[in-house]
Amino acid sequence: MDTDTIAAIATPLSNSGIGIIRISGPEAFSVVERIFRKKNGKEIDWDKSHQVHYGWIVQGEEILDEVLVLVMKGPHSYTAEDTAEIDCHGGSLMMKRILEMVLRHGARPAKPGEFTKRAFLNGRMDLSQAEAVMDVIQAQNDYALKASVSQLKGSVSNKIRVLREGILYQIAYIESALDDPEHISLEGYGKQLFQEIRPIKEEIESLIRSFEQGRVMTEGIKTVILGKPNAGKSSLMNVLLGQERAIVTDIAGTTRDTLEEKLSLDGITLHIIDTAGIRDTKDLVEKIGVDRAKKAAQEADLVIYVADGSCPLDQNDQEIIRFIRDKKSVILLNKTDLETEVSMDALEKLTRNHVIPISAKEEWGIRELEQEIKQLFYQGEVSFNDEVTITNVRQKIALEESLESLEMVEKSITGGMPEDFYSIDLMDAYQRLGEVIGEAVEEDLVNEIFGKFCMGK
């Protein structure tokens, strides 16, 4: 474990009201002492933690800036090390000059994520909580923020520890019985173990299922708008964005390529893609656009199909309906401000889905669209009181591998294998669950995870 002192600018390097230089390590207080003078002329009592001191950063006899210094003694700090933070004026030049002074007086530049890495290595938080720190920083909507804060508070950690305790108990029982068969019997144990691991498996399966919801919370919903030319796709996108982002004309085939934007829709982040109208065409450029539209829809989490209510459904609509039949989709009947040529009942029968009447021109039905998307992905209002959500691919893979090991235990039981076979796969399940919270993970993986963090965190 590194024992040197690190420092970095912890706020964005741009002009702002306040800038923070964070220093952590055994020499953190000594570094500050060399460059800081209290306004009242007194010395800082470094034995008193969680104190704020007012004064100046000085370079020789020159006052560089008026600052506040926060003192946090380890282990009661973010890194569990002695930590100091200098709150200075937030000019880019000022922050750089103070950081340079800090580095000249005994600290070295921190690597991306190194403060949080030290918090993990010092036992201040486990790996799932450390990953949640970055999720909090990158949260794009209220749902993602709440899920990340829940993980940061230990929702995933606590669940994993309970599951591991249950598995460890069974491992200990088997090993004790094998070592002392005269006093601990394994008669009928296989049947008992089968029942004991069932609720553990169900909990793991529930966590794995939560990943899809967790992923769309953190990454957003990849959403593609499909429809035939002139159905109102670009008009809908402009309404959702609240600006004229896509070109809208009465000429069919105006949109030739995909157009991507990100928006927050009632607290849900959508990565929304407007596409070329789906139709048979001999125009080479438009055909490329249609092919890209189909490819984008194939990879999407959600397809919004916009049907033109002002004209009868045609072969192009039929092709789109067949294409989206097995995908998560929302069906919109647009141009309902005009006399409609399409029956909602007929469209519902064709799509086997609920149809929402809208007018992109008059901005009708947008609220109903928001509620439909929320219902599809979050089953209505989301509650985080008792919910544990997995938002990380690495954690999901570890859970899946743990589940596979427990299924191997079941196969060994039904196959009449000796009890030591149970113990091997139970131990593997225990270790895989440990990877979720950072136990028994390789150093390269730890470095890769924290290397993705922002500087100063």
Lowest-confidence region among 162-176, 207-221, 381-395: 381-395
Lowest-confidence region among 41-50, 174-183, 259-268, 330-339: 259-268
Which of 139, 301, 129, 127 has its CA nearest to residue 218? 139
pLDDT level of residue 138 (50, 70, 90 thresholds): confident
Residue 383 lies in a domain: no
Q: Provide the pLDDT for residue 252.
A: 41
Q: Provide the pLDDT for residue 243.
A: 54
Q: What is the mean pLDDT of residues 234-250?
A: 64
Residue 293 lies in a domain: yes
Residue 449 lies in a domain: no
Q: Provide the pLDDT for residue 386.
A: 53
Residue 1 lies in a domain: no
Token representation of residue 273: 């893609």
Identify whether residues 122 and 161 lie together within a single domain. no
In angstroms, the CA 7 to CA 242 distance is: 42
Lowest-confidence region among 36-45, 135-144, 202-211: 135-144
Identify whether residues 111 and 26 lie together within a single domain. yes
The CATH code of the domain that includes 200 is 1.20.120.430
Q: Which of 348, 378, 408 is the last residue of a domain?
A: 378
Identify whether residues 42 and 83 lie together within a single domain. yes
The residue count for the chain: 457
Q: Provide the pLDDT for residue 452.
A: 74
Q: What is the mean pLDDT of residues 167-193?
A: 87
The CATH code of the domain that includes 306 is 3.40.50.300
Integer Rg of the chain from CA: 29
Q: What is the mean pLDDT of residues 226-242?
A: 82
Identify whether residues 234 and 255 lie together within a single domain. yes
pLDDT level of residue 153 (50, 70, 90 thresholds): confident
Identify whether residues 29 and 119 lie together within a single domain. yes
pLDDT level of residue 244 (50, 70, 90 thresholds): low
Identify whether residues 80 and 228 lie together within a single domain. no
Residue 272 lies in a domain: yes
Residue 403 lies in a domain: yes
Identify whether residues 54 and 118 lie together within a single domain. yes
Q: Which of 78, 98, 126 is the last residue of a domain?
A: 126
Q: What is the mean pLDDT of residues 29-49?
A: 93
pLDDT level of residue 81 (50, 70, 90 thresholds): very high
pLDDT over 60 (residue 27): yes
Identify whether residues 248 and 366 lie together within a single domain. yes
Q: Provide the pLDDT for residue 282.
A: 55
Give the residue with greater pLDDT, 138 vs 333. Answer: 333
In angstroms, the CA 457 to CA 454 distance is: 6
Three-state DSSP class for residue 415: coil
- Residue 256 and residue 233 in contact, taking contact as beta carbons nearer than 8 Å: no
Three-state DSSP class for residue 23: strand
Q: What is the mean pLDDT of residues 53-80?
A: 94
Identify whether residues 244 and 309 lie together within a single domain. yes
The model's pLDDT over 257-283, given as tens digits with 9 standing for 90+, comes to 457 777 777 667 888 887 766 655 555
Mean residue pLDDT of the chain comes to 84
The number of C-alpha atoms within 13 Å of 175 and in the hemisphere containing its C-beta is 10
Return the residue matching tokens 């004209």.
311
pLDDT level of residue 245 (50, 70, 90 thresholds): very low
The model's pLDDT over 99-123, given as tens digits with 9 standing for 90+, comes to 999 999 999 999 999 999 999 999 9
- Residue 334 and residue 358 in contact, taking contact as beta carbons nearer than 8 Å: yes
Three-state DSSP class for residue 134: helix
φ/ψ of 224, rounded to 5, equals -115, 135
In angstroms, the CA 447 to CA 116 distance is: 11
CA distances from 333 to 218, 236, 274, 358 (A): 30, 11, 17, 6
Identify whether residues 104 and 171 lie together within a single domain. no
Q: Provide the pLDDT for residue 283.
A: 58
- Residue 228 and residue 317 in contact, taking contact as beta carbons nearer than 8 Å: yes
Identify whether residues 104 and 34 lie together within a single domain. yes
Lowest-confidence region among 31-40, 44-53, 124-133, 191-200: 124-133
pLDDT level of residue 256 (50, 70, 90 thresholds): very low
The CATH code of the domain that includes 58 is 3.30.1360.120
Which of 110, 112, 6, 104 has its CA nearest to residue 57? 104
Lowest-confidence region among 19-23, 43-47, 139-143, 172-176: 139-143
pLDDT over 80 (residue 417): yes
pLDDT over 80 (residue 158): yes
Query: 127-138 and 443-450 are packed helices; what angle lies between their axes, rounded to 10 degrees?
Result: 20
Domain that holds residue 94: 6-126
Token representation of residue 404: 């596979």
Which of 108, 129, 145, 102 has its CA nearest to residue 3? 108
How many Å from the N-terminal Cα to the C-terminal Cα in the chain?
Answer: 18
Q: Provide the pLDDT for residue 266.
A: 67
Identify whether residues 117 and 265 lie together within a single domain. no
Q: Provide the pLDDT for residue 370.
A: 82
- Residue 40 and residue 109 in contact, taking contact as beta carbons nearer than 8 Å: no
- Residue 221 and residue 373 in contact, taking contact as beta carbons nearer than 8 Å: yes
- Residue 231 and residue 317 in contact, taking contact as beta carbons nearer than 8 Å: no
Mean pLDDT is highest, among 94-98, 211-215, 292-296, for 94-98
- Which residues 6+ apart lie within 8 Å of 305 measured at CB? 226, 227, 320, 321, 324, 329, 330, 331, 332, 351
Q: Which of 378, 408, 424 is the last residue of a domain?
A: 378
Residue 24 lies in a domain: yes
CB atoms within 10 A of CB 39: 10
The model's pLDDT over 302-330, given as tens digits with 9 standing for 90+, comes to 888 988 888 888 888 888 888 888 888 89
Q: Provide the pLDDT for residue 379.
A: 56
Token representation of residue 307: 């049907």
What pairs with residue 306 in β-bridges? 332
Counted domains in the chain:
3
Residue 384 lies in a domain: no
